[in-house]
Amino acid sequence: MSQSATDELKATVNIVEETYEFCLAYAAKGVSGLMARTGDTQVRDQLEKLAQALPNLGNVFLKVVEELEGDGREQYRGFIEVLRRDAEAGHAAVQLVLAQENITSQMVDNLNGMIHLRALLTDVFLIDEMLRPEADQPLHIQPAE
């Protein structure tokens, strides 16, 4: 795997994760339509970064997969298509929010709650774990009998 393809994928994954975390905090602020007019552009800037990253997510992941050695590459094809669809649906939702003059906390909360963004986020969490297999994992605790 080339470092540049992996780095590009990590950067894209980070944008998705950071935007989700930012939006959770923004949703909790209780920003109303009137408050949103004050010119705070942070939420819009963060959503624009996400909107720029999403259309390329599937292709960036594909670049990493194409560099894998062995016969396992074909097993990734189905997931890549799912990732592309989820990114496309998430992108459409983000674009809808960006089209609004004022972005309220409730809008962002509804965006975060959309099944499309949740599916995308879960896709990204899976990819993130694949990119860092050496990361510490929590100990598995056997269920009580």
Is residue 137 one of the residues assigned to a domain? Answer: no
* CB 11, CB 129: distance < 8 Å: no
Residue-wise burial string across 25-47, b where 16 or more C-beta atoms lie within 10 A, e elsewhere: ebbeeebeeeebeeeeeebeebb
Say if CB 40 and CB 57 are below 8 A apart: no
Let me know: does 105 contact 73? Beta carbons within 8 Å.
no
* Domain range enclosing 60: 3-131
pLDDT tens for the 145 residues of the chain, in order:
456 888 999 999 999 999 999 999 988 888 787 676 776 689 999 999 999 999 999 999 999 998 877 777 788 889 999 999 999 999 999 999 999 988 988 999 999 999 999 999 999 999 988 887 665 555 445 556 5
The pLDDT score that the predictor gives to residue 118 is 94
For the chain, the domain total comes to 1
116 belongs to a structural domain: yes
Evaluate whether residue 144 is within a structural domain. no
The answer to whether residue 136 is domain-embedded is no
Q: What torsion, rounded to 10 degrees, do the Cα atoms 130, 133, 135, 141 define?
A: 90
Predicted structure pTM score = 0.83
Quote the tokens at residue 102: 């004022």
Q: Is residue 78, in this structure, part of any structural domain at all? A: yes
What pLDDT does 3 receive? 62
Asked if 20 and 112 count as a contact pair (C-beta separation under 8 A), the reply is yes
Establish if 66 belongs to a structural domain.
yes
pLDDT of residue 31: 79
- The secondary structure of residue 67, as a DSSP letter, is T
Give the pLDDT confidence score for residue 140 in this predicted structure.
46
Kindly state whether residue 141 falls inside one of the protein's structural domains: no
Report the C-alpha gap between 64 and 28 in whole angstroms: 36
Q: What is the pLDDT of residue 143?
A: 57
- Inside any domain, residue 111: yes
